[in-house]
A and B are shown apart, each in its own frame.
Chain A
Amino acid sequence: MLFLPLLIPLATAIAGLLAWNRRKLQRLLGVCSSAALLIVGLMLLATVQQQGVISAQAGNWPAPFGITLVADLLSSLLIVATGLMGLCVTVYSLADTDTRQESLGYHPLLQVLLLGICGSFLTGDLFNLYVWFEVMLIASFVLLALGGQREQMEGAIKYVALNLIASALLLAGIGLLYGVTGTLNMAHLAIRLQSMPHTGTIPVIAALLFCAFSIKAAVFPFYFWLPASYHTPPIAVITIFSALLSKVGIYVLIRVFTLIFPQETLAGQPLILAAAGLTMLLGALGAVAQPELRRMLAFCVVSQIGYLLMGLGLFTALALSGSIFFMLHIMAAKSALFLTTGVVARLTGSSSLAELGGLYRRYPLLAALFLVPALSVAGIPPLSGFWGKLALIQAGLQSGQYLMVAVALGVSVLTLYYLTNAWIHIYWKPAPETAAKLQYLPPHRRHQLLAPTLLLALFSLVLGLLPEPLFRLCHSAAEQILNPSSYITAVLGTLP
């Protein structure tokens, strides 16, 4: 059961390799596999809800010697989200990617990326996590560079250089940690570190790992690679990157710093909160200054990462559940924004705000598809972003972090400003005279592009109108994270 989210994408990638020149088959396999991943994710979530945390030992080697896979509520929620995003992006890219990219193995690579993401969510072993990071990095590098245009290579090289540095830091941290504790199983590490004095090397290791994961998650001061590389590749690729890759970084931060280093998290609270606040603020300011839609959304991704980190910094059940809820909301809402941008770029051949205009008259649905997720990201009440921010801000007030709360609210206003400003530019203002003629899209293509976008926007809307069930789930997930004993028992069998 726990292996299925890994086996499905792996088997599909292999099948895709065997069917290298048969594009139709690859496309079909990609869609089926992502749908299967979504179903397996839902089954996993149901099982975890019934039985609590579950674990499996690869190769039947008992923990802490072998590699353990663990699913608690947080990981299974994220597996469901991965399946959903995988499905939406695969369907969208049926119409969005060109023949050349597909013949270079776009669909098998997407599956390898999903494999790496699912692996990172499920693994219970720090070194294994590093391996999954590398799987993701390899797949994402090829996806970024696929097609090999000049500016694409430029973005890809920045991305890879920064991520390699992150991997080196991570590996150094893991090596030191193994030297100090003699184990890399996360549950075992949690126990070992409880009985050790937290002076000298251990805070250093925590700082190393924090930096490594922060680079992956694009947290201040390591966020600059993201806007530099996210504006060049095809829109479907950026969507999956922004929805899942940076969230993997945040997931790992939450996992490692609640399970293994809870003391360091509390000690470093001011630093984490400062990083969160600056990430929000600088991301938003960057977005305000961008005249190009894709770059603006890339900065917006960075800015929202700050909110996710804020939950970890506050370190209470309410704050963490807010973070988890916000993470699920932002995946859907931000992806809907990116996908709509892709449709606009396809229709008009441009994504520069100055060259766009007047689309509302011809495409009111498209305007709604941009406006709903935009307002949701900004946090306007009946939409999903509101509830995530509400929980985070309540938690901030309870912990007395007034400055943090003020920054979070201020950034929301900025977000509202630049997203509605973009909306007005694209849809409301009269089309500039230099605007190119609109491209015609054949109906089946239009459906392939619009169906996933509509699904995600509706998801954000429904999540906003009925936040209760999911929020309760996120709350139990947060409580599970804050009481790691069930996690440790599930992995090691007994609590020593």
Chain B
Amino acid sequence: MHSVILATAIRLLLPLMLLFSLFLLLRGHNEPGGGFVGGLVVAAAFALYTLAHGEKEGRRMLRVDPLRLVASGLLVALVSGLLPLLVGLPFLTALWSSVPAPVIGHAGTPLLFDLGVYLLVAGMSLLIIFTLMEE
């Protein structure tokens, strides 16, 4: 089934949704939002693209293997937990930068952890979606 409307709309929607997911991710550490919803929005964007153009095109658009996204998300989250060990604090202790960064304010290891969740959720959902679409 090929829909011209969806195929045209997704060309605009895909970058917008990806941008919005980044916004959700960065907003997440003080307000509603965060890595989980951000990751779901990424997955939704690529799922729509896949609906419009088929599973092969979807995979090509994503460029990386979803499984790799899952693994790297886990790795980023693990590293964010390990960093405080370097300064002698327990696993998963939040470290914050003293200088506020532009736009996002004080950044710290929780943001890194959230980034890990973002990658993991996006990768996992896309892995499921692509596998289902293949059949």
The residues of A with any CB-CB pair to B shorter than 8 Å are 3, 7, 10-11, 13-14, 17-18, 20, 56-60
Contact of A14 among B75, B84, B89, B93 (CB under 8 A): B75
Check A18/B68 contact, CB under 8 A, given A10-B78, A11-B78: yes
Contact with B75, one of A3, A18, A58, A59 (Cβ below 8 angstroms): A18
Chain B 74-97 interface 0/1 with A at a Cβ cutoff of 8 Å (1 = within): 110010001010000111111000
Listed by A's residue number, 21 A-B pairs whose Cβ atoms lie within 8 Å are A3-B90, A7-B78, A7-B82, A10-B74, A10-B78, A13-B74, A14-B71, A17-B70, A18-B68, A18-B71, A18-B72, A20-B67, A20-B68, A56-B90, A57-B90, A58-B92, A59-B92, A59-B93, A59-B94, A60-B90, A60-B93
Closest to B92 in A: A59
Q: Is the interface of A mostly helix, strand, loop or mixed?
A: helix
Pairwise interchain contact B70-A3, C-beta atoms closer than 8 A: no
The distance in angstroms between the C-alpha atoms of A58 and B93, with both chains bound, is 7
Contact of B90 among A7, A11, A59 (CB under 8 A): A59
Determine the chain A residues whose CB is within 8 A of the CB of B67 once the complex forms: 17, 20
Overall SS of chain B's interface? helix
Complex Cα spacing A20 to B68, Å: 9
A-B interface pairs (CB < 8 A), number? 39
Give the docked Cα–Cα distance between A13 and B82 (Å). Answer: 16
Q: A3 CA to B91 CA in the complex, in Å?
A: 7
Q: Which A residues touch B90, using CB under 8 A?
A: 3, 56-60
Q: Are A17 and B91 neighbours in the complex by a CB distance under 8 Å?
A: no
CA distance A401 to B68 in the complex (A): 58
CB distance from B122 to the nearest CB of A (A): 15
Smallest beta-carbon distance B118→chain A, Å: 16
Contacts of A13 in B (CB 8 A): 74
CB distance from A9 to the nearest CB of B (A): 12
B119 CB to closest chain A CB (Å) equals 12
Chain B minimum-CB-distance residue to A3: B91
Alpha-carbon distance between A171 and B56 when the two chains are bound, in angstroms = 41
Within the assembled complex, what's the spacing in Å between the Cα atoms of A59 and B110? 10
Q: Which of A7, A14, A18 contacts B91 (CB 8 A)?
A: A7
Q: A7-B78, A14-B78, A56-B91 are in contact. List 9 more A-B contacts (CB 8 A).
A: A3-B90, A3-B91, A10-B78, A11-B78, A14-B75, A17-B67, A59-B90, A59-B91, A60-B93
Contact A17 B92 (CB under 8 A): no
